[in-house]
Amino acid sequence: MRRFPAILILSAIAAAGCAHVNEASQAHDLAATQGKYHVTLTGDVEAVAGRCQFVRNLVPDDEPTFRPTDAELPDYFRTEAVYNGADTVVVRGRVGEAYICGPGPLNPDGTRKKADAGPH
């Protein structure tokens, strides 16, 4: 009889984990179909230096699931950038640096995230 509550708790934890994975997958799909069109690719480092906020490096060769070809790189950079909230990617060969250059981070669908209301 003591196993039933434990099984119930483990089932609830597994369901919560699956919901999180499903939500992340949906956000990534949204970034790949809509959001990527709101991301700018550039090779001009000086255009972002000092005025944009660095988000993260994008290294397609470190992807565990697939290695994008050179032809797939622009879509890869745009999709991963918007998924992480960035609106600009500085491309250097097969490596990209994602930045937020606009007024705030992007949602996966390409819209701006609403600023949290601060204390009044």
Per-residue pLDDT at 1 exceeds 50: no
**Structure token pair of residue 15:** 């369901």
Handedness of CA 107, 109, 112, 114 (dihedral sign): negative
Task: State pLDDT tens for residues 34-53.
Answer: 989 999 999 999 999 889 99
Q: What are the Cα distances from residue 39, in Å, to 1, 12, 65, 67, 79?
A: 56, 38, 23, 21, 8
What is the per-residue pLDDT across 77-112, written as a single tens digit (0 to 9) for each? 999 999 999 999 999 999 999 999 999 999 999 999
A 10 A CB-CB count for 13 gives 10
Phi and psi dihedrals of 112, rounded to 5? Answer: -75, 140
CA atoms within 13 A on the CB side of 25: 6
